[in-house]
Chain A
Amino acid sequence: MTQDPAAPKRAAASGTDGGLENADIQGLVAAGYGRLPAARYLLLRVQNPVAARLWLGEIADRLTNAAAPVTHTGLNLAVTFAGLERLGLSAHTLGGFPPEFAEGMVTPHRSRMLGDTGASDPARWRWGSLTSRVDILLMLFASDEPTLADLEEATATDLAAAGLASVARLDTVDLGDREHFGFRDGIAQPVIEGFGRAATWRDSIKAGEFVLGYRNEYGRYAPRPAVAAGADPSGILPEDVEDSTVRDFGRNGTYLVFRQLSQDVAGFWQFAEREALASGQGSAEKLAAKIVGRWPSGAPLVRAPGSDDPSLGKLNDFDYGNEDPSGERCPVGAHVRRTNPRDSLDPSPGTDKSVTLVKRHRILRRGREYGAPLELNPTGSGRPPVDDGRERGLHFICLNANLRRQFEFVHGTWVASRKFAGLYDDADPLIASRGPGNDALTIPDQPFRHRILHLPQFVTVVGGAYFFMPGLRAVRFLASISRSGAQPGG
């Protein structure tokens, strides 16, 4: 693929170009706080809205914004639709949120679309289900565990006094650049136009895809929840970008998708070992790489088809449509090929036009692992690990401005759909739920494909919710809602 010479290349300079109001955007949008390896997520329910708003007001000034240098701690906050309702946001403003956010992650239709069925059925979730409502997500980051404990002490010690109850307190673990299955993670991320880092045209995405109040890949503004000017007498909120008669509650906010994904690491490697032996396709590592689309080092199969090549571990400048159209190197159904299909999709695979379509379905991943890692080669013999009975997985977090077109599209149309790119029965081999008819894995080869039927499920969803991560002014506005709980005039 050649780069479109006409496409605007971002200046790789200051963090305030492109008109982004960094000081009002929560820091997690700009960065995943890689320098802060300790992190904890608090899932909270609002018991007393009045006390909770007071707490929110105190916390608002401590929240990390995207302009602030990150040194020892980071603090960010997001709220579900139920939480916004509970905190007293008016029905008028709530009505400005899109239905997918209002309904949440657990409607029967959404579960069908996202493949949250069987073992991943929300009825079994620990949090986020209809019976385990979550209102607020508080995300704490720190340079080390003691600092993290201090931060929690300072922000969320006396929850009862703050009118809050804990639904779950989720710890994280720092695995460096690997995830639990043993693969390098986080290599291919989109970059927001207007934030610091330079990126190729393919990965440089308009700010409006990730932050409300800015133009998106269609050159438009995503729908935003409005507040009548009279309902914001102290003028906390900014004017709406397209309608100066109303204030914009959404500006500088983004939608945060949280899914707690439990990983069966031993099951994954035992399956790879067993199947590699049975089918004579080489090593367990190679079969695992065919499932993922990259080798453990991160080297893409498209460039390293035969064996792992750690020198290509961070390589991101490759494509499928031109280099491997039929998937003989990287299977069409491989995990990374379907979560970011690059230039491989219809109508014109191998062209910038194909990339342009994919650019409308990107998400910013900000998750962290949890649970002690399993030693992947315990005996040093290359034999697969045995399950230790402890849980581990990923707190999957992603950010986007349009849940339907971004997260839900990627997860529903590309990951959970067994029909992705002309396939028949192949849902994502790594992370999708399994059921009859979606548990095949097709690995293109000469003279013909390998086909694995009845693929086990390696990842189970055990919790999840859609949150809105407001801009800082919107957090202050929430905290300022009058004590009666009714926001005047809507």
Chain B
Amino acid sequence: MPHQIAFTAVATVKPESLDALRSTLREMAADPAGNRLIPFHKLNGVHFARFFLLEPTTDVDGRPIAGQLVFMADWDAPLEQRIQELAEVGTEGLSRLFSSCEGYASGGGEPGAAIQYLRRHAVSNAAVYVNTIGLSASQVIDEGRLRDALEDYLDQDPDLRSAGPGAVRRALVDRVASTAELSWAAQPADPPALAWKIRELAHLLLVPLIGVLLLPVIVVALPIWLVVLRLHEHADVALDSRPDPARVSELAALEDHGPVNQFTAAGFIKTGWFRSLTARLVLFLISYGVRHIFNRANLAGVKTIHFARWTFIDGGRRVIFASNYDGSLESYMDDFIDKVAWGLNAVFSNGQGYPATRWLLFGGARNETAFKNYLRAHQIPTQVWYASSSQLTALNIANNRQLRRGLRGAMSDEAASAWLRRL
């Protein structure tokens, strides 16, 4: 059970190659899993992956920014192996895509050039949310099959209905044990590597420790920061601009093809050092929170997000937010507003045009219409999006995990009954 890694690579697109790149992306989008250029379904260890184009634009000071191709993947460690496999399976596709970008030396059909290019253009993420840390892509798929098999066993054996819950469970456990393809399910999934666990523990402890050491500084800085924050909040301009209807339908065309959806947005940080610093501080805290606290299928009450990340680009001037979630965008945004408005406010209020906040956490997203307009207006089309378990929601995945867990050990009738309710 390896830990998951959020990989991001950003490459500048040659202005004359924008059209060629768009057409390559279109070709892949027709069938993200099976397309000839990068047949994602042949890759192991991938939860989600996406390619999208950031169109050429200008920053808040009017400076031009070239078009950029972004690749993002949520995949399982080890990273080197994932990159290697991607480059081998998608040699032709990566070569076509990167040939439209600056500084790519065509490898003449060899994966080596693409590997080098991906490594060189890798960008670190400011914060990464993983629904359940350590749950591998193959485990998600396998446990989905396990659940299907258990459901079928129940349907196939009418005699079970007259048995007690404990006996039903034992019968299911026996069936699994005697089925060669499912025998793995009787064992717990492998834990993440020890070295990784130690590193996480060190991070868990060290950050608060440093916080305590810095306490004198924080005590002095916090009131000042709050005053400056309020000054900024009074001066900031909220733009309640309705997104362009044509753009909205372009985005909607990419949504609700299955129970799981993608979201990608990019926005500029407000000018000045203060918002830049605040965004980095907040994302640092969020990163700590989701890494160590909200890492068990529940992000402060939201149970529908598989993976999410915030990534600074353009030298910190812009932030990308990308996520994989269940249900419609409307239900996703309602979850934001109803359950985690404070968290979104803390990050996004440092972005240009965000609905007005108070004390960083209040207001903002609670202005429903302005917030939904803001998200839609900053959303960008995710041209190519791949999900390896596209038919399973995060709740399904968590339930399947508990089904497998319940195959092991002794259980009271009551506990067996509760376990059977998962089916």
Contacts and interface: CB of A to CB of B under 8 A. Distances in A.
B245 A107 contact: no
A412 B328 contact: yes
Contacts of A451: 151, 154-155
Contacts of B337: 218
B249 A419 contact: no
A374 to B, nearest CB: 32
Nearest to B244: A99
Contacts of B338: 357, 360
Contacts of B256: 109, 112-113, 412
Interface string B279-310: 00000000000000000001001110000000
A413 B330 contact: yes
A422 B334 contact: no
A458 to B, nearest CB: 22
A418 interface: yes
B423 interface: yes
Contacts of A218: 337, 366, 368
Interface residues of B, number: 46
A447 B252 contact: no
B183 interface: no
Interface in A380-414: 404-405, 408-409, 412-413
Greatest chain B CB density within 10 A among A113, A419, A447 is at A447
B423 A448 contact: yes
A478 interface: no
B423 A413 contact: no
Greatest chain B CB density within 10 A among A112, A444, A448, A453 is at A448
Contacts of A448: 154, 160-161, 165, 168, 420, 423
B212 interface: no
Chain A interface secondary structure, helix, strand, loop or mixed? loop
A415 to B, nearest CB: 12
B278 interface: no
Given A222-B369, A409-B331, A449-B423, A418 B259 contact: yes
Nearest to A418: B259
A408 B330 contact: yes
B334 A409 contact: yes
A418 B256 CA distance: 12
Contacts of B151: 451
A412 B256 CA distance: 10
Greatest chain A CB density within 10 A among B168, B256, B396 is at B256
Contact of A437 (B253, B255, B391, B395): B391
Given A346-B301, A360-B334, A109 B154 contact: no
Contacts of B420: 447-449
Interface residues of A, number: 37
Contacts of A405: 330, 334, 368
Nearest to A437: B391
Nearest to A420: B327
B369 A447 contact: no
Interface string B359-383: 0000000111100000000000000
B119 to A, nearest CB: 38
Given A222-B369, A413-B331, A447 B417 contact: yes
Interface string B185-221: 0000000000000000000000000000000000000
B164 interface: yes
A419 B330 contact: no
A419 B248 contact: no
B163 interface: yes
B339 A347 contact: yes
Greatest chain A CB density within 10 A among B255, B328, B420 is at B328
B326 interface: yes
Contacts of B327: 413, 417, 419
A113 B168 CA distance: 38
A66 B332 CA distance: 36
A453 B257 CA distance: 22
A449 B298 CA distance: 26
Nearest to B240: A223
A444 B420 CA distance: 10
Contacts of B138: none
B129 to A, nearest CB: 16
A413 B259 CA distance: 10
B330 A220 contact: no
B328 A413 contact: yes
Given A112-B257, A218-B366, A409-B331, A422 B154 contact: no
A417 B259 contact: yes
Contacts of A446: 165, 417
Interface in A79-120: 99, 102-103, 107-109, 112-113
A113 B245 contact: no
B393 interface: yes
A218 B364 CA distance: 12
A220 B391 contact: no
B252 A444 contact: no
A404 B334 CA distance: 11
Nearest to A112: B256
B421 interface: yes
A447 B164 contact: yes
A107 B249 contact: yes
Contact of A220 (B301, B328, B369): B369
B389 interface: no
B399 interface: yes
A220 B368 contact: yes
A87 B19 CA distance: 41
Given A113-B256, A113-B328, A220 B367 contact: yes
A408 B366 CA distance: 20
A472 to B, nearest CB: 25
Contacts of A417: 259, 327
A326 interface: yes
Contacts of A408: 328, 330
B165 A447 contact: yes
B365 to A, nearest CB: 10
A488 to B, nearest CB: 23
A424 interface: yes
Interface of A: 99, 102-103, 107-109, 112-113, 218, 220, 222-223, 326, 346-348, 357, 360, 404-405, 408-409, 412-413, 417-419, 422, 424, 437, 444, 446-449, 451, 453
Given A113-B328, A419-B393, 17 more contacts: A107-B249, A218-B366, A220-B368, A347-B303, A360-B338, A405-B334, A413-B327, A418-B259, A419-B326, A422-B396, A437-B391, A447-B160, A447-B161, A447-B163, A448-B168, A448-B423, A451-B154
24 contacts: A99-B245, A99-B248, A109-B252, A109-B253, A113-B256, A220-B369, A346-B301, A347-B298, A347-B302, A357-B338, A360-B334, A405-B330, A405-B334, A409-B330, A412-B256, A419-B327, A419-B393, A419-B395, A422-B395, A424-B396, A447-B163, A447-B165, A447-B420, A448-B161
